Amino acid sequence: MTVASRVSPIDPKKLLQREFSAAGLKPKDAFQTLPEWWEEAVAHPSGVFEVRGFVAKHFGLEIGPDGRLRQRHMPHACFKTRTGTDISEIVSARALATAVAKVVASATTVSWSGSLPSAATLRATAITHGNTPWVGLDDLLDACWSNGVPVVYMPSLPVTKSKMEGMVTFCGGRPVILVTKKATAPAWMLFVLAHEMGHIAEGHLDQCEGEAIVDEKVSEGDTDTDDQEKAANTYALQLLTGGKKGNISLKHPMPPAELGRTAVEFGFKVGIDPGHVILNAASNSVFNGKHPFPLANAALKHIGENVPTADMCREAMRRNIDMDALSDDSLEFLERIGLL
């Protein structure tokens, strides 16, 4: 008598883990963003399909003919990458960021104004209505959201390959800016956000659903860039510095507190955010063969940059989206990935 062997069914969690990895996601991080019901759901045969549907919507994937998760074909994007970087390395990050942008755009309360004002106009408005003679991160966030441009700060994308520092995409009838550069201190986000605003203001982004400009690296000092990148940098510098020329550098290292005081005095004198002054000085100074960024980070703590970037961005989002317009799953997702 022949006894038929039994094939053990694949554990649903392991099955999803394989699919996450194949789609470029970090399984451990991806599982942490799933809604509370997912573990109970996969205990039933149809539950895996329900979880796949959630992931496809919120991570920018699709369900293939075999019923499994896979990368989705994305609309055209203009990738600004460093020499030697394969665009395929950033695909997963772009897809996830686009999916998040769609969710946020769907609940944004202010309509898209159709354009961002000139850098000079935004700078004058910020300084006139603000408490300082410079443009800070709170000013940039207010300028974007008040013109119907959501700003999404996602420094920890759960992807296995490379990610970009900044991106702007057109979703739900509006541009959405996404910054993924890790920036504990607001000063680190200033130039990246202003650069992405430049892409919008200069008309670089096609207003077609899903179109995107993906900046792997955003740097004030980049000179070997295309015309769009140069224009976005010019816009950012006009907005942050009033178009003042020249780079700041340090003649010698100094204690963090002294550097902070010097930057604040200089900032009040010339109308530039002291945090930007500190980072500019660090990027243009070299001691013992290295840029003094540890010194810069220590100095930032002495100038009142005590509110983390993530907190500022979360507060701005809470003020400008209608949470009741989101499904319970989407709202929980935004909370789990740290946006709310």
pLDDT of 72 higher than 80:
yes
Q: Per DSSP, what are the bridge partners of residue 289? A: none
Rounded mean pLDDT, 293-298: 94
Q: Token pair 């700041």 is at which residue?
A: 248
pLDDT of residue 83: 58
pLDDT at 39 over 50: yes
Say how far apart CA 23 and CA 62 lie, in whole Å.
Answer: 10
pLDDT at 2: 53
22-26, 72-76, 232-236 — which is least confidently predicted?
72-76
**Is the pLDDT assigned to residue 306 strictly greater than 80?**
no
The residue type of 261 is: R
- Residue 74 contacts residue 94 (beta carbons within 8 Å): yes
**Pick from 144, 110, 175, 106: which is nearest to 324 by CA?**
106
Orientation angle between helical segments 227-241 and 119-129, nearest 10 degrees: 20
3-class DSSP string for 41-87: HCCCCCHHHHHHHHHHHHHCEEECCCCCEEECCCCCEEEECCCCCCH
Tokens of 236: 């950012």
Q: List, in sequence order, every residue forming a beta bridge with 79; answer none if it has no partner.
A: 214
In this prediction, residue 307 has a pLDDT band, given cuts at 50, 70 and 90, of confident
Percentage, residues of the chain above pLDDT 90 = 79
Could you give the percent of the chain with pLDDT greater than 70?
Answer: 94
pLDDT at 5: 47
Average pLDDT of the chain is 91
Residues 229-287 have pLDDT tens digits of 999 999 999 999 998 766 788 999 999 999 999 999 999 999 999 999 999 999 999 99
The tens digit of pLDDT for each residue in 159-201 reads 998 889 999 999 999 999 999 998 889 999 999 999 999 999 9
Question: For residue 8, how many other CB atoms are within 10 A of its CB?
Answer: 5
- Cα–Cα distances (Å) from 328 to 37, 100, 133, 323, 334, in that order, read 12, 15, 42, 9, 10
> What mean pLDDT do residues 32-38 have?
94
* pLDDT at res. 245: 64
Distance CA 335, CA 123 (A): 32
Question: What pLDDT was estimated at residue 299?
Answer: 95
Q: Does 7 have pLDDT greater than 50?
A: no
| Higher-pLDDT residue of 11, 45 | 11
Gap between the Cα atoms of 318 and 313, Å rounded = 9
Strands of the sheet containing 77-80, edge to edge, are 77-80, 212-215, 166-171, 174-179, 151-153
Q: How far is CA 291 from CA 62, 217, 218, 222, 280, in A?
A: 44, 18, 17, 16, 11
- CA 88-77-177 angle, to 5 degrees, is 105
